[in-house]
Amino acid sequence: MESLQTIKQRFGIIGNNNQLNIALEKTIRVAPTDISVLVTGESGVGKEVIPKIIHNLSHRKHAKYIAVNCGAIPEGTIDSELFGHEKGSFTGATQTRSGYFEVADGGTIFLDEVGELPLTTQVRLLRVLENGEFLKVGSSKVQKTDVRIVAATNVNMIEAIQKEKFREDLYYRLSTVEINIPPLRNRGDDIHLLFRKFASDFAQKYKMPTIRLEEKAIEALKGYPWKGNIRQLRNLTEQISVIEQNRSISYNTLMSYLPDYGANLPAIIKDKTKESEFKNEREILYKVLFDMRNDITDLKKPLKF
């Protein structure tokens, strides 16, 4: 079995956060099986690499890997994309067409944003997951396929089930093993590590010296909520790398790129007055106090008998 470190190198994964390591170890262990996997986590946390690792560490690695963004395909064509259609089954179906489940026979299909699948498609998917059977759109001939499914979602599936937007039976079938990727805000030192990696990448790309953060800016970077996670951090690093002449980034400069630090300050307004510095410091203090309160609540828990 390949080690965690090798996998990280091979797939360009930066970071050593414990929750991330647990997710990757789970990925390595489940990969050689045919078990369905559901990858969960907020937008931009890095879910897309997981199905690639699974496929490449499985006996299916020489067969096809197809990634489908379920949210991007119109409802009217998704069944045909996934399962194919018969000639004449709908206006414009001039040829019989194979769908992804036929093409990927023996391989892996990654269903990204699986929560977006229409209910009718969910019925077809459940059938193919349960017994490998499917019908082309407009056909009554049952076909067989052997496909491993890895799905991903950034929506709360339990909520989607309660709202009757997602079938409960399909959810349980898809999530035999769930792999949760932690949000960036919980990854501690990895945040600065990722920043440095991106800073060095963009320095090469734009042929400029690498930006680096001053001590206070590093702390601020670690305390930011990162709602857009790694995607947001990378975009921020690119912006600063391109715009800032002084390659040593101060706390104030960084703050001018982090609009909603605590409060909802407008974006990209560079306010370097003393007052705004004070305001930002106060926000950090609030955050520290808030985190401390949470920690104290956690500490109290085991004391309740």
- Residue 12 has a CB neighbour count (10 Å cut-off) of 9
| Residue found under tokens 């409060």 | 263
- 167: contact with ligand ATP by CB under 6 A: no
Q: Is there binding between residue 182 and ligand ATP (CB under 6 A)?
A: no
Interatomic CA distance for residues 212 and 208, integer angstroms: 12
Residue identified by tokens 């035999």 is 176
Residue 231 in contact with ligand ATP, rule: CB under 6 A: yes
Determine the residue type at 237: T
Q: Which of 16, 19, 33, 43 binds ligand ATP (CB under 6 A)?
A: 43
Q: Which is nearer to ligand ATP, 122 or 154 (CB)?
A: 154
Return the DSSP state at 89.
S
Comparing CB distances to ligand ATP, the nearer of 82 and 151 is 151
Q: Which partner from the list Mg ion, ligand ATP, none does 173 bind, CB cut-off 5 to 8 Å by kind?
A: none
154 binds ligand ATP (CB under 6 A): yes
Residue 132: HSE in the Cβ half-sphere, 13 Å Cα cutoff:
10
Q: Convert residues 32-61 into a mask of x (bound to Mg ion by CB under 5 A) and - (unbound).
A: ----------------x-------------
Q: Which residues contact 7 (CB under 8 A, 6 or more apart)?
A: 13, 24, 27, 28, 53, 57
Please report the beta strands in 129-214, taking only residues with DSSP state E, as ranges in sequence order: 133-134, 143-144, 148-153, 177-180, 212-213
Per rule CB under 6 A, count of chain residues that contact ligand ATP: 16
Among 23, 30, 46, 101, binds ligand ATP (CB under 6 A): 46
> Which residue number, 81 or 116, has a Cβ lying nearer to ligand ATP?
116
177 contacts ligand ATP (rule: CB under 6 A): no
| Six token digits for residue 119 | 């209910």
Confirm if 21 and 188 have CB atoms less than 8 A apart.
no
By beta-carbon proximity to ligand ATP, the closer residue of 194 and 284 is 194
Provide the binding-site residues for Mg ion, judged by CB under 5 A: 48
Provide the binding-site residues for ligand ATP, judged by CB under 6 A: 12-15, 41, 43-49, 154, 230-231, 234
